A = this chain, B = another copy of it.
Amino acid sequence: MALSESELIKRFFRNCGAQRRDVALGVGDDAAVVECPPGMQLVATTDTLVAGVHFPLSVPAAAVGHRALAVNLSDLAAMGARPAWALLALTLPEAGEQWLTEFAAGLGALARAHDVALVGGDTTRGPLTVTVQLLGHVPRGRALTRTDGRPGDALFVSGSPGDAGAGLAIEQGRLTAPADAAPYLRERFLLPTPRVALGERLRDYARACIDVSDGLLGDAGKLASASGVGLEISFADLPVSRPLIAALGPDAARELALTAGDDYELLFAVDPARLAELERELPQARWNYRQIGVLREAPGAVVTRDGTVMEFSHSGYQHFL
């Protein structure tokens, strides 16, 4: 069926996200108009998913919609920002109704869960590529950046990194996992959970924060480098899930946790003087994060195990290497 661009937008995306009172003009004009709340700074990010590059072509449309927004929510989480408005640039080979229905359902459900309104976008014909631009806000001067970590800061990560990397390998047929582990791992790749609520709360505790999307070790290195420090990660302290251990064994699970991409967890540095307060206000067991190392004076990123330094050749996913 041939759909015009305006019919397509009206049908699938006009009421896709949350309804927000600060949207003066949403989908349907030349641009969207929204109200930025007083006292707040605007936070903006964009991320693209290319079919066959960022996800296999087998990924269901609802998961593509979810992921396209989730990866951007994760960027705002890392800034301690509250998401508010999204724009969608969708390039697709044809206007398949079923695919669009499921894609919009996946995107819309996550948008509504985070009170994000879809206020505009563009649909074009071409190879399947999804770019979401996400806007949010943060109290003036309070954005969490990568640059303010200091030597001695405790380094934490949320969730259980590596799961999504194993899920991708399962989705691609490169890994076979036990029947009780595979569905969990696959879902962790398909439907990542951006840590928006944690990110907002970390504004009060973290000195520096980064989104773990290209591999924990590489992203930790980026935070350290931006802060002008180094870091040390304790291999034994890496939080890995039971299903990941079931699939790979404990050592390979932790190696994957260090190097695989697609986690969309938060890595953050906290002043050691504030650790007791952090645990009181944001208990680790409830908020699902864990200390994995420290920032240090000496530059570079090292992983230690039983007192010796481990070597890692692949320190994160690089799009152009």
Q: Interface of A with B (CB < 8 Å)? A: 2-6, 8, 24-25, 28-36, 38, 40-50, 52-54, 75-76, 78-79, 81, 85, 87-89, 91, 94-95, 119-127, 129, 131, 133, 135, 138, 140-141, 143, 145-147, 209-211, 222, 226, 318-321
Cross-interface CB contact of A42 among B3, B36, B126, cutoff 8 Å: B36
Question: Taking A53-B125, A138-B33 as contacts, is the C-beta distance between A46 and B120 under 8 angstroms?
Answer: yes
- A41/B53 contact (C-beta < 8 A), A3-B320, A122-B48 known: no
Contacts of A211 in B (CB 8 A): 30
Pairs A–B under 8 Å by Cβ, sample size 11? A4-B321, A5-B319, A30-B211, A31-B78, A31-B81, A33-B143, A35-B42, A36-B42, A44-B119, A50-B125, A89-B89
With the chains together, A47 CA to B122 CA distance in Å? 6
Q: How near does chain B come to A211, taking the closest CB pair, in angstroms?
A: 5
Q: Are A133 and B87 in contact (CB under 8 A)?
A: yes
Q: Write out the residue numbers on chain B whose beta carbons fall within 8 Å of the beta carbon of A129.
A: 48, 91, 126-127, 129
Q: Which of B29, B43, B54, B85 contacts A33 (CB 8 A)?
A: B43
> Do A46 and B91 contact each other (CB < 8 Å), given the known contacts A36-B36, A75-B31, A319-B125?
no
In the bound complex, what is the Cα–Cα distance between A133 and B319 (angstroms)? Answer: 21
Taking the nearest CB of chain B, how far is it from the CB of A80, in angstroms? 10
Residues of B within 8 A of A94 (CB): 320
Q: Please determine whether A30 and B78 come into contact, CB atoms closer than 8 angstroms.
A: yes
Q: Are B32 and A44 within 8 A (Cβ)?
A: yes
Given contacts A46-B133, A89-B46, is CB(A5)–CB(B79) below 8 Å?
Answer: no
In the bound complex, do residue B46 and residue A79 qualify as a contact, i.e. CB atoms below 8 Å apart? no
Bound CA–CA A301/B99 (angstroms):
34
- The closest CB in chain B to the CB of A208 belongs to B29
B8 and A320 within 8 A (CB)? yes
Known: A89-B47, A124-B54. A2 touches B42 (CB 8 A): no
The answer to whether B320 touches A95 (Cβ under 8 A) is yes
**Alpha-carbon gap, A32 to B138, bound state (A):** 11
**Cα–Cα, bound, A47→B87 (Å):** 10
With A30-B75, A89-B131, A129-B129 given, can you name 12 additional A-B contacts, CB distance below 8 Å?
A4-B321, A6-B222, A28-B226, A29-B226, A30-B45, A31-B78, A33-B42, A33-B138, A35-B41, A35-B42, A45-B120, A125-B320
